[in-house]
Amino acid sequence: MNSYRNQQFLIVGTGFLVQAVYVGLLFMFGILFLEFEETFGWSRAVISGAFSAFLLATGFIGIAMGKLNDLFGPRRIMIAGALIHGAGYALMSLIQAPWQLYFFYGVLVAVGFSTHDILTLSTIARWFTAKRSLMSGIVKAGAGAGTFVVPILLTALLAVWDWRIACLVVGAASTLILTFLAQFLTRNPPSTPVESDENSTPVPQTEIGLTLKLAITTRNFWILCVGQFLIFSCLMVVMIHVAPHARDLGFETTQAAKVLSTIGAGSILGRIILGGTADRLGGKRALIIAYVILCASLIWLLFIREPSILFLFAPVYGFTHGAFFTLISPTVAELFGTRSHGVIFAIVLFHGTIGGALSPLIAGYVFDTVGSYQPVFACLAGLAVAGLVLVQFLQSNSPAEIEVT
């Protein structure tokens, strides 16, 4: 029993650190955005396009990764992904033209990043039942921690070296760390302990739930897919464009980076608090709470004119930002079981990456055309309201309903 608990804690701790590395580095793009703009004079639409390519690649590759994870487990997939991910960042130090940014970041870095949620959260879904959402929240809190720490570290690196050397350092360090962490990920628990008797022999665990073929025939599946499209459309614009927006309002690059870090700090609370809420109230109610906060924060952003107010906005928005990234995986497990969790989760995420890929690119074009983010923020608030309405139609399933052979 104690050995089983220790394995569970190890899985959670490993997932936390994997999330911290991958998602922390994802927010690095918001800082590099400013560097690319200054170094090359590229438009915001061109730079945003690289992130759009990154998200599209993440979505397509993620579906394959979900299937491979269901078949072979996370360890080997994470090692391969870490090597390609690190190579992508290292090669970014050689960038001279947009196509290189699109390939090194938009494809190579995306290969590694496509594994981070699927491998960690699907593993959590299989290792935990009673506290699945809370454990997912703790793992995703690693993403918040990374989001808080990495922009600060990157700013420190840029104060000593230029962005090219920073990319080399990031590529080497992330490869070593992620390859090491991969050794501690195991797809399935070998058995499920009997809670009432610590001396009892664990019994084999049988996964239950819908196959992908059955899942795609349900209304819940398509509500989650469309909802994820709307969520990512909002979250990715803020993540990529809030630093340039902060600088437009009068902040220096270091202050803009701190806004991103503050979002990361707020997201830690959102991941844990609403993760625990989902265990008690269910995924649907937790999603409704997250949508309400998202709507309020985006409407607030629309009216911010003083840059210092962004430090008040950031933790509120960060709370819901973190919550959404935590809630999807346990909600998929709640509604469809764990039998095909990896591939179902990956397809739901794929719909999110479509929205997340298109929206920053469109936001960049809008800014280049009208010189303001105001129309963009108004549209984001509308998308958030649409998501809040949509999630009302989710139907909760009982365990018996998903135990389908």
> Does 206 score more than 70 pLDDT?
no
Write down the pLDDT at residue 404.
Answer: 47
Write down the pLDDT at residue 144.
Answer: 78
Write down the pLDDT at residue 356.
Answer: 87
Write down the pLDDT at residue 1.
Answer: 57
pLDDT, tens digit, for every residue of 128-177?
777 777 888 788 888 878 877 887 788 788 888 888 999 999 999 999 99
Write down the pLDDT at residue 203.
Answer: 40
Write down the pLDDT at residue 197.
Answer: 39
> Does 97 score more than 90 pLDDT?
yes
The CATH number given to 2-189+207-395 is: 1.20.1250.20
Write down the pLDDT at residue 400.
Answer: 39
pTM for the full predicted model? 0.73
Residue ranges of domains in the chain: 2-189+207-395
Convert the chain into a string of H (helix), E (strand) and C (coil): CHHHHHHHHHHHHHHHHHHHHHHHHHHHHHHHHHHHHHHHCCCHHHHHHHHHHHHHHHHHHHHHHHHHHHHHCCHHHHHHHHHHHHHHHHHHHHCCCHHHHHHHHHHHHHHHHCCHHHHHHHHHHHHCCCCHHHHHHHHHHHHHHHHHHHHHHHHHHHHHCCHHHHHHHHHHHHHHHHHHHHCCCCCCCCCECCCCCCCCCCECCCCCECCHHHHCCCHHHHHHHHHHHHHHHHHHHHHHHHHHHHHHHCCCHHHHHHHHHHHHHHHHHHHHHHHHHHHHHCHHHHHHHHHHHHHHHHHHHHCCCCHHHHHHHHHHHHHHHHHHHHHHHHHHHHHHECCCHHHHHHHHHHHHHHHHHHHHHHHHHHHHHHCCCHHHHHHHHHHHHHHHHHHCCCCCCCHHHHCCC
pLDDT, tens digit, for every residue of 259-313?
888 888 888 888 888 888 888 888 889 999 999 999 999 999 999 988 889 999 9
pLDDT, tens digit, for every residue of 26-58?
877 877 887 888 889 888 888 888 888 898 888
Mean pLDDT for all residues in the chain: 84
Confidence of residue 399 (pLDDT cuts 50, 70, 90): very low
